[in-house]
Structure 1
Amino acid sequence: MAMNHSPETQSKLIARVKEVTGRDLREWFKIIDNGPSFLRCEERANWLAEEYRISRGYSAAIVREHERQRTWR
């Protein structure tokens, strides 16, 4: 699975995260921070998809956004 969506696709996925998954980004970021310590983003995305039964596209977008925002903290 590709972890890099186009910027347009990434924005569209992030805008719909709460509607599609029932959780907002803040909740997903907390889940990622408290989850297993994977070294690779792809591993985190796969874990989210499997553990929380969300699509791989949304899990990849959430992980990518988490990484992007983490670098700005």
Structure 2
Amino acid sequence: MEESMPLNHSMETHHKLIARVPDITGRALPEWFQALDNGPSFLRCEERANWLAAEHGLTHGYAAAIVHEHERHRRQHL
């Protein structure tokens, strides 16, 4: 079972980060979700966020928000 990712910021801040992802990164969330799906098979959310930040030059805040949103999306579509 995968470890859930605790937010280091409020849900309001999370939503603001997610809303800005396309403008800040130049990629829409589905593209980031695909990058995560195609990336290394890390079990921990923190590892995925660290990989996403390092591999794609994102700040940790945006990387963590994308990973958290990816987890939420996956749970909703099981």
Aligned equivalents of 1:3, 1:57: Cα separation in 2: 12
Does the CA contact (< 8 Å) of 1:3 and 1:60 recur in 2? no
User: Any gaps of 5 or more consecutive residues in structure 1?
Assistant: none
Aligned structure 1 segments of 4 or more residues deviating by more than 3 angstroms: none
1:31-70 map, 5 Å: 31-70=35-74
Aligned equivalents of 2:29, 2:74: Cα separation in 1: 13
| RMSD of Structure 2 on Structure 1 (CA) | 1.2
Aligned equivalents of 1:20, 1:3: Cα separation in 2: 23
Does the CA contact (< 8 Å) of 1:3 and 1:42 recur in 2? no
User: Any gaps of 5 or more consecutive residues in structure 2?
Assistant: none
Q: Percent identity?
A: 64
Q: TM-score, normalised by structure 1?
A: 0.95
Q: TM-score, normalised by structure 2?
A: 0.89
Quote how far apart the aligned CAs of 1:11 are: 0.3
